[in-house]
């Protein structure tokens, strides 16, 4: 029984055991689970060594956990009663993985052909266990990146075990070098293929995670962040994980921390980040103190903010509307925060009803910010709501008030029969979450000529603060509308209804001081250490330039990664297929050159497998008999180069002529399609 094959099998089972342990950690200690697993493994191996009948062995596999439990009960008078209760709790929850792994091990050891089916069973188990990890909340591992790494390593081991299992069925793994010979080509092709497969799967995971992040948050490789395009989900869920701590000094009646603005819109796609949105406002925290242009809008006052990021992309720039400067801050050792920075924003402090702005915007921008797609019903509804209402500001306020008074908040908007979620929300169900309200109001404003865009970020409860610190959780992710008015800039409107749909509960949990008091204490204890990050200007500029170059490289990989992966894959294959030819030109001794010619042609004809016990001469004769290949002549010269004292340049020249002849014969043996398959899938035999 090949040791490598069984070690890899056990490694796969340990991967699954760890996941079981994560699920059961509240009721079963991992040492108990591991001890039960290794005992079941030992029992399965012992039953195979004892050569007991199949039915009797199967019966013992089912019986042994209960025998141990009876043993514990028999000594109940010696052991404290609570020990039995604790054992019983762990015992019953451990039965499933123990039975599963012991049975798989026993079947794999007794039936050679079961190896490939065990791989399938392992994959099904992993799929079932990971079903709960497809949304925003990743509980089995600390970050989505490690979930992806775990799945990649598991898949790699699965395919490797499958390959070894098939090779084991055919009795190919008699010696260690046979394992390497059968496995290395497989690995060279498998690794780029796995990478090629993982990227689209990760992209699908990111998109699917948005529904679990309140329809707004998605999983990035290392943290969480807002999605750059928003679509209307049929149902969402929310996490109450702490995302950041926020502190402010200055007036601000409405606390809406903005991450992105989304001004692009397409039917069927929804709102997304347009190129116009990626510079104003900024989306990344700079490496040094940076000032932004003061738009000199009316009725705005400066508000100082400090943001302490906990569980969001460290580069994410979040601020009240309008930021005018940002100051990165040195973080202290062993900090609970991934990034700290200070920023000033110009916040509108005058009630909207007290101003009388007009709308003016350059024609090109106006066309962009008033594009509404092809939904004429939205314009009809907007005109009906704003009929006989003068001025853009009052019309905008009327639309906002209409949603407050006539619609409901719901995490389950439902599925539109025709797929048009927005019309289903507006005309039928009248229930949805913040994105539905923001989409609808922005499009209504646009339909009557008022420039509008969607903003995403966090809603901060002004009534929940301690020492002017505000905790911000994932379930406070929010979308609202920004409407442009001349001399006043982009002003915020929040159309989301505060009335829950009948039968649904309010989804936001309350805060307690104990939840974040330790973080506030940590900030206050280290406040003197958290000095401004003041890098020299030249260093900052260099960092900025390198960051821009890095951004361009990353963008290039995002766009062209399929071509890059395909190029790497083909390059690896070319190197693999031409390795012996390369070595031929690098070597000078004629005997070594002869060996490389022979190995090159052996590799070329590898579609016909050579069993371990077959001699090279018999293998050559079989190729001659089955395919008419001139391989016996080449083999004779190869053996002469190994064992004869006389091997000349003329013999090498004869081998080179035979090489050309065998290559021509190979082209007649295999059709073009089979030759292509043999090139791209060299580890698959008998194509």
What's the full length of the chain, in residues?
A: 687
- Compute the Cα dihedral for 626, 632, 633, 634 and give only its sign: positive
Share of the chain above pLDDT 70, in %: 76
Q: 672 versus 152: which is more confidently predicted?
A: 672
Q: Cα(first)–Cα(last) distance of the chain, in Å?
A: 28
Nearest C-alpha neighbor of 638 from the set 614, 620, 612: 620
Question: Sorting pLDDT into bands at 50, 70 and 90, what band is 134?
Answer: very low
Pull the structure tokens for residue 81. Answer: 């009663």
Please state which of the ranges 208-217, 369-378, 396-405, 591-600 shows the lowest mean pLDDT: 208-217
Mean pLDDT of 147-167: 76
Query: Does residue 64 sit in helix, strand or coil?
Result: helix
**What are the C-alpha distances in Å from 409 to residues 425, 429, 504, 571?**
11, 11, 9, 55
pLDDT above 80 for 31: yes
What pLDDT score does 462 carry? 83
pLDDT above 50 for 221: no
Q: How far apart are CA 255 and CA 459, in angstroms?
A: 6
Q: 552 versus 287: which is more confidently predicted?
A: 287
pLDDT above 90 for 453: yes
Query: How many of the other CB atoms lie within 10 Å of CB of 210?
Result: 23
Q: How far apart are CA 178 and CA 186, in angstroms?
A: 13
Average pLDDT, the chain: 78
* pLDDT tens per residue across span 615-660: 989 999 999 988 899 999 999 999 999 988 889 999 999 999 999 9
What pLDDT score does 579 carry? 82
Please state which of the ranges 36-45, 226-235, 292-301, 515-524 shows the lowest mean pLDDT: 226-235
Residues linked to residue 246 through DSSP beta bridges, in sequence order? 307, 470
What pLDDT score does 1 carry? 46
* pLDDT tens per residue across span 508-535: 666 666 667 888 888 888 876 555 544 4
The number of helices, as runs of H, and strands, as runs of E, in the chain is 19, 17
* 376-407: b (≥16 Cβ within 10 Å) or e: eebeebbeebbeeeeebbebbbebbebbeeeb
What pLDDT score does 210 carry? 47
Query: Does residue 225 sit in helix, strand or coil?
Result: strand
* pLDDT tens per residue across span 534-580: 443 333 333 344 444 454 555 556 566 677 777 777 887 888 788 88
Strand 242-249 and strand 300-309: the pairing is antiparallel
Main-chain dihedrals φ then ψ at residue 189, nearest 5 degrees:
-90, -35
What pLDDT score does 495 carry? 95
Pull the structure tokens for residue 480. Answer: 């609202």
Main-chain dihedrals φ then ψ at residue 684, nearest 5 degrees:
-95, 120
* pLDDT tens per residue across span 223-253: 556 776 677 888 777 777 788 999 988 776 7
Mean pLDDT of 120-126: 80
Residues linked to residue 291 through DSSP beta bridges, in sequence order? 325
* pLDDT tens per residue across span 332-378: 877 888 889 999 999 887 666 666 666 667 777 888 999 988 888 99
CA angle 282, 287, 288 (to 5 degrees): 95
Pull the structure tokens for residue 241. Answer: 């994980």
Mean pLDDT of 280-309: 85
Query: Does residue 140 sit in helix, strand or coil?
Result: coil
Share of the chain above pLDDT 90, in %: 20
446 contacts 464 by C-beta, under 8 angstroms: no
Three-state DSSP string of 34-99: HHHHHHHHHHHHHHHHCCCCHHHHHHHHHHHHHHHHHHHHHCCCCCCHHHHHHHHHHHHHHHHHHH
Q: How far apart are CA 40 and CA 42, in angstroms?
A: 5
Give the CA-trace dihedral at 537, 540, 541, 543, to 10 degrees: 160
Chain center to CA of 602: 42
The contacts of residue 499 (CB under 8 Å, 6+ apart) are 407, 408, 409
**What are the C-alpha distances in Å from 486 to residues 16, 260, 353?**
61, 22, 16
Ramachandran quadrant class, 160 (left: phi over 0; alpha: psi -120 to 50; beta: rest):
alpha
Nearest C-alpha neighbor of 239 from the set 139, 342, 111: 139
Question: Sorting pLDDT into bands at 50, 70 and 90, what band is 137?
Answer: very low
Q: How far apart are CA 428 and CA 425, in angstroms?
A: 6
Question: Sorting pLDDT into bands at 50, 70 and 90, what band is 141?
Answer: low
The contacts of residue 661 (CB under 8 Å, 6+ apart) are 630
The contacts of residue 613 (CB under 8 Å, 6+ apart) are none
Q: How far apart are CA 220 and CA 226, in angstroms?
A: 9
Residue 339, preceding peptide bond in cis (omega within 30° of 0): no
Pull the structure tokens for residue 74. Answer: 């028999």
Mean pLDDT of 3-27: 81
Nearest C-alpha neighbor of 594 from the set 653, 633, 652: 652
Greatest mean pLDDT range, 116-130, 421-435, 568-582: 421-435
pTM summary value: 0.57
Strand 256-262 and strand 452-459: the pairing is antiparallel
Mean pLDDT of 501-505: 85
Greatest Cα pair distance, the chain, in angstroms, is: 108
Strand 452-459 and strand 408-409: the pairing is unpaired
Q: How far apart are CA 521 and CA 575, in angstroms?
A: 59
pLDDT above 90 for 442: yes
Q: 89 versus 596: which is more confidently predicted?
A: 596
Task: For tokens 């069984």, name the residue.
Answer: 6
Q: How far apart are CA 293 and CA 196, in angstroms?
A: 43
Mean pLDDT of 98-115: 82
What pLDDT score does 381 carry? 94
Pull the structure tokens for residue 404. Answer: 């407050």
393 contacts 352 by C-beta, under 8 angstroms: yes
pLDDT above 70 for 311: yes
pLDDT above 60 for 498: yes
Residues linked to residue 485 through DSSP beta bridges, in sequence order? 489
CA angle 495, 501, 506 (to 5 degrees): 85
């Amino acid at each position: 029984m090949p040791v490598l094959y069984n070690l890899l099998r056990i490694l796969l089972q340990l991967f699954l055991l760890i996941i079981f342990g994560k699920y059961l950690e509240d009721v079963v200690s991992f040492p108990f689970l591991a001890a039960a697993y290794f005992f079941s493994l030992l029992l399965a191996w012992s039953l195979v060594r004892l050569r007991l009948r199949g039915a009797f062995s199967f019966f013992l596999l089912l019986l042994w956990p209960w025998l141990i439990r009876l043993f514990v009960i028999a000594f109940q008078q010696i052991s404290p009663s609570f020990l039995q209760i604790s054992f019983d709790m762990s015992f019953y929850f451990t039965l499933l993985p123990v039975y599963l792994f012991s049975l798989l091990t026993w079947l794999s050891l007794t039936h050679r052909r079961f190896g490939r089916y065990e791989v399938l069973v392992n994959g099904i188990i992993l799929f079932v266990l990971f079903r709960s990890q497809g949304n925003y909340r990743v509980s089995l591992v600390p970050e989505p990146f490690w979930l992806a790494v775990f799945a990649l390593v598991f898949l790699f081991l699965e395919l490797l075990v499958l390959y070894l299992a098939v090779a084991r069925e055919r009795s190919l793994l008699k010696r260690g070098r046979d394992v390497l010979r059968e496995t290395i080509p497989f690995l060279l092709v498998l690794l780029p293929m796995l990478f090629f497969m993982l990227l689209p799967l990760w992209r699908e995971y990111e998109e699917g995670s948005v529904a679990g992040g309140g329809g707004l948050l998605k999983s990035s490789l290392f943290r969480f962040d807002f999605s750059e395009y928003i679509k209307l989900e049929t149902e969402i869920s929310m996490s109450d994980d702490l995302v950041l701590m926020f502190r402010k000094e200055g007036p601000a009646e409405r606390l809406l921390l903005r991450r992105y603005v989304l001004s692009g819109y397409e039917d069927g796609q929804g709102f997304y980040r347009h190129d116009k949105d990626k510079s104003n406002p900024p989306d990344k925290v700079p490496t040094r103190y940076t000032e932004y242009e003061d738009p000199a809008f009316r009725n705005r006052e400066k508000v100082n903010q400090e943001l302490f990021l906990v569980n969001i992309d460290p580069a994410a720039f979040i601020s009240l509307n309008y930021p005018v400067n940002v100051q990165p801050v040195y973080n202290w050792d062993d900090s609970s925060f991934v990034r700290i920075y200070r920023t000033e924003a110009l916040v509108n402090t005058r009630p909207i009803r007290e101003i009388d702005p007009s709308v003016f915007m350059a024609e090109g921008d106006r066309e962009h910010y008033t594009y509404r797609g092809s939904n004429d019903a939205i314009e009809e509804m907007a005109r009906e709501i704003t009929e006989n209402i003068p001025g853009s500001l009052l019309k905008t306020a009327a639309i906002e008030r209409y949603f407050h008074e006539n619609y409901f908040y719901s995490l389950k908007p439902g599925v539109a029969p025709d797929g048009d979620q927005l019309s289903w929300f507006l005309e039928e169900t009248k229930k949805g979450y913040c994105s539905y309200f923001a989409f609808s109001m922005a499009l209504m404003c646009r339909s009557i000529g008022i420039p509008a865009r969607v903003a995403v970020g966090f809603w901060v409860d002004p009534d929940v603060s301690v020492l002017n610190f505000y905790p911000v959780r994932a379930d406070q992710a929010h979308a609202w509308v920004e409407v442009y008015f001349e001399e006043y800039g982009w002003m915020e409107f929040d159309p989301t209804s505060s009335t829950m749909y009948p039968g649904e509960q309010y989804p936001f949990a309350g805060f307690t001081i104990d939840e974040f008091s330790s973080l506030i204490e940590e900030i206050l204890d280290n406040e003197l250490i958290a000095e401004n990050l003041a890098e020299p200007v030249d260093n900052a500029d260099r960092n900025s330039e390198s960051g821009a170059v890095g951004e361009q490289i990353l963008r290039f990989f995002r766009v062209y990664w399929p071509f890059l992966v395909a190029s790497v894959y083909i390059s690896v294959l070319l190197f693999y297929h031409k390795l012996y030819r390369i070595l031929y030109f690098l070597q000078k001794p004629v005997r070594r050159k002869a060996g490389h010619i022979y190995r090159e042609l052996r590799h070329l004809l590898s579609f016909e497998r050579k069993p371990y016990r077959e001699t090279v001469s018999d293998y050559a004769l079989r190729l001659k008999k089955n395919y008419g290949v001139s391989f016996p002549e080449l083999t004779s010269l190869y053996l002469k180069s190994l064992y004869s004292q006389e091997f000349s340049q003329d013999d090498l020249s004869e081998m080179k002529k035979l090489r050309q002849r065998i290559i021509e014969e190979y082209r007649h043996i295999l059709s073009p399609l089979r030759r292509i398959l043999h090139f791209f899938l060299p580890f698959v035999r008998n194509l």
